[in-house]
Amino acid sequence: MSAPPRAVLFDRDGTLVVDVPYNGDPARVEPVATAAAALDRVRAAGVPVGVVSNQSGIARGLLDAGQVEAVNARIDALLGPFAVWRWCPHGAGDGCAYRKPAPGMVLDAAAALGVAPADVAVVGDIAADVGAADAAGARAVLVPTPATRPEEVAAAAERGILADDLLGAVELLGFGA
């Protein structure tokens, strides 16, 4: 890849923290194994980090905004500080331009950071994360989990945007060892 990005946005569930479906309980937040080290490496380079996350549990009536904010606060306490948090409460069928794979969240986070979308990278665990990056004109890295579909992994591997873990993702982005 080219020079390191000027900002890195991470998906939340399944990427920064172990995915607990529709988690509204901060006590259930568990960072993934290499999250702290990867974030430290990016921050050490003086590059801001943020979070972009779909939270369709709100649209489904399984969570409320306060629960999402409480979980986000716990993540910030464990892995932060994050320069920007953006999340979308809508469901897949709501037609929201903010919800990944639409570019709205990435564009908004980039603007809040004062960085052009082309100078941003998005790291996530599913095709919606890669799609949001692509739609915004940002770079993408896929870090698969057991929930990632095989065709998503294959497509990322073909594009050279596949990493085994978050540390590998930030290395791929130019934040070397």
Residue 73 sits in which domain range? 7-172
In total, how many domains does the chain have? 1
* Residue 176: per-residue pLDDT: 83
Q: Is residue 59 part of a domain?
A: yes
pLDDT of residue 113: 97
pLDDT tens-place values along the chain, 177 residues long = 578 999 999 999 999 999 999 999 999 999 999 999 999 999 999 999 999 999 999 999 999 999 999 999 999 999 999 999 999 999 988 999 999 999 999 999 999 999 999 999 999 999 999 999 999 999 999 999 999 999 999 999 999 999 999 999 999 999 986
Catalytic residues: 11, 13
- What pLDDT shows up at residue 61? 92
Residue 1 in domain? no
Per-residue pLDDT at 84: 98
**Strand order through the sheet with 49-54:** 84-88, 49-54, 7-10, 120-124, 139-142
- CATH code assigned at 97: 3.40.50.1000
> Does residue 2 lie in a domain region?
no
Counting other chains too, the contacts that 80-83 makes at CB distance below 8 Å and 24 or more residues apart are 82/49, 82/50, 82/51, 83/7, 83/48, 83/49, 83/50, 83/112, 83/113
In a domain, 27, yes or no: yes
177 part of a folded domain: no
pLDDT of residue 109: 98
Residue at 68: amino acid letter: V
| pLDDT given for residue 128 in this prediction | 96
Classify residue 114: in a domain, yes or no: yes
Sign of CA dihedral 74, 75, 78, 81: negative
Residue 29 in domain:
yes
* Per-residue pLDDT, 2: 73
Q: Give a yes or no: residue 99 inside a domain.
A: yes
